[in-house]
Amino acid sequence: MTQENRSDRPQGRPPEGDSRLTRTESQLRGPFLLFFISAVIWLLAASVLGVIAALEQGSLAGGPFRDCEMLTYGHIAAAQHNLFVYGWGFNAFFALNLWLLSQLGRFELRNGWLATLGGVFWNLALTYGVVLIFAGNQTGFSLLEFPREVGPVLAVAFLLAGFWPIVAFARRPTGHTFASQWFVVAASFAFPLTYLLAQLLILWQPASGVVQAIAHSWFVSNLLLLWFGASALAAVYYFLPKVLDRTISGYYLAPVAFWSFVLFAGWTGPAALIGAPVPLWLQSVGVVAGAMLIIPAIITAINFHGTLSSEGGWSRAWNDTTLRFVSFGAVSFTVFGVLNAVFSFRGYNAVTRFTSFAAGQEQLLTYAFASMVLFGATYFVLPRLTGSLWPSAKLVHVHFWSTALGAVASIVALLVGGWENGKQLADASVSFQQIAKSTTAWNTVLSVSAVLLLVGHIAFALNAFGMILKSSAPASAGRHD
């Protein structure tokens, strides 16, 4: 791969000194900007709701909206979670995955209106679902809170918006493939299959007994790992060698990382059901799958950290905006893999069950890893598609430090606070009032971290929208590579 973001070039300047888009990029510009603008808007909305939810959770009086029935903690937390996952995460990965596979496969998107139409349907269905959540019409299943009529619309929208990377992969000019392509294709196949099956077994034709709980845990693990996780890994495998202008360290191990990740990630869900009235063998499947995820975690650590550790890679990462975010995400994935493997075992799981620890693990995966990688990718891709520089370098620094500190603070509060609460719950001599009192400090940290994340996201949005508004790259322009 050739280097396209040299350290001696000002950040944000289009690579190769040419302000014109490639033919591939010129056809992606419209759908990409639709997905990206939608993602940032939903991220801001989720951030505001996150601050409100943190204040309500940490207030004994019920928070600032305790007298408003629509803005109860249950409504706000569910809406915030769905806006972050389906609004920010999906729109951003729609854009990035399509850009990645189009670049790697030299794919020209000749029917971009279909992807745009899918994006419009996706965001309209998401808006409708969130409104119904605030109206009190929601299911009791996490990440499936939308009423069941929303599910088919989201599925069709995904096929229109999220399947183009597979088309780009199928039409690649050569038989040679890259790790980034493997992970994106796996993610693009995994989500619609698991989402449709979960909709069927949980909402449309509800299964009897504990099968619903099993199907839900399976869906959540596939959504978080095989969509968020796989898509973010694809981005790291692309941007590290691209920006550093070197091959991935131990790249021959990447196929092992891919197949072990795809094989085990989808079966970690039953580990969340330990202690539930679920067959013991099924719980053990989840435990083993969670423990075996240490394999891709170790291999990706060799690939990513080995690449960054050679020839001053870490110092270059610190001085390059894209690499700074991507490196933060790579470290976070390694930490997530270790924690996920260790706390899948029954002994540790028994302590953290019914605490905030699982939320901390999810925050580590979806924000510290996936979202930080998405931010880094944006700092690389958006200048190419707009032909503009980032309006403010200060806002870039505010964005990084606010989101990095906010993410670390929230994850530490959720993980450490969850571990302490779990140990207290296991001690019969500790009253519930004592446990509630001990969480006050951690709730304060969560409130501060939510504010930090909101500040970082506002800085990111101001910079990004400023760049888009002064965009000089015409949508129809195109140059050959």
Q: Residue 6 falls within a domain, yes or no?
A: no
Q: What is the pLDDT of residues 454-467, one digit of tens each?
A: 999 999 999 999 99
Give the C-alpha distances (Å, rounded to integers) separating 49 from 141, 156, 262, 451.
Answer: 19, 28, 33, 11
171 — pLDDT class (breaks 50, 70, 90): confident
68 — pLDDT class (breaks 50, 70, 90): confident
- pLDDT, average across residues 392-416: 96
Q: Residue 82 falls within a domain, yes or no?
A: yes
Q: What is the pLDDT of residue 6?
A: 38
In the chain, the percentage of residues whose pLDDT exceeds 70 is 91
Specify the 3-state DSSP secondary structure of 479. strand
Q: What is the pLDDT of residue 329?
A: 97
Q: What is the pLDDT of residues 26-58, one digit of tens each?
A: 778 889 999 999 999 999 999 999 999 998 886
Q: What is the pLDDT of residue 480?
A: 33
Specify the 3-state DSSP secondary structure of 410. helix
Task: Please give the mean pLDDT across all residues of the chain.
Answer: 88
- pLDDT, average across residues 215-219: 95
Residues 377/398, Cβ–Cβ less than 8 Å: no
Q: What is the pLDDT of residue 17?
A: 34
Q: What is the pLDDT of residue 175?
A: 77
Q: Residue 1 falls within a domain, yes or no?
A: no
List the single range of 54-58, 137-141, 317-321, 359-363 with lowest mean pLDDT: 54-58
Domain containing 369 equals 25-469
Q: What is the pLDDT of residue 64?
A: 64
At 393, which CATH number? 1.20.210.10
| CB atoms closer than 10 angstroms to residue 155 | 15
Q: Residue 387 falls within a domain, yes or no?
A: yes
Q: What is the pLDDT of residues 336-394, one digit of tens each?
A: 999 999 998 888 888 888 899 999 999 999 999 999 999 999 999 999 898 888 999 99
Q: Residue 363 falls within a domain, yes or no?
A: yes
Q: Enter the pTM of the model.
A: 0.91
Q: Residue 198 falls within a domain, yes or no?
A: yes
Specify the 3-state DSSP secondary structure of 309. helix
Task: Give every CB contact of residue 154 below 8 A, 6+ residues apart in sequence.
Answer: 86, 122, 125, 126, 146, 195
- H-type alpha helices, 209-279: 211-221, 230-244, 254-265
DSSP 470: T
Sort 167 into a burial class: Cβ within 10 Å, 0-12 / 13-18 / 19+: middle
Q: How far is the C-alpha of 294 from the C-alpha of 337, rounded, in Å? A: 6
425 — pLDDT class (breaks 50, 70, 90): confident
Phi-psi label, residue 192: left if phi above 0, alpha if psi -120 to 50, beta otherwise = alpha
Please state the domain count of the chain.
Answer: 1
Q: Residue 248 falls within a domain, yes or no?
A: yes
Q: Residue 16 falls within a domain, yes or no?
A: no
Specify the 3-state DSSP secondary structure of 5. coil
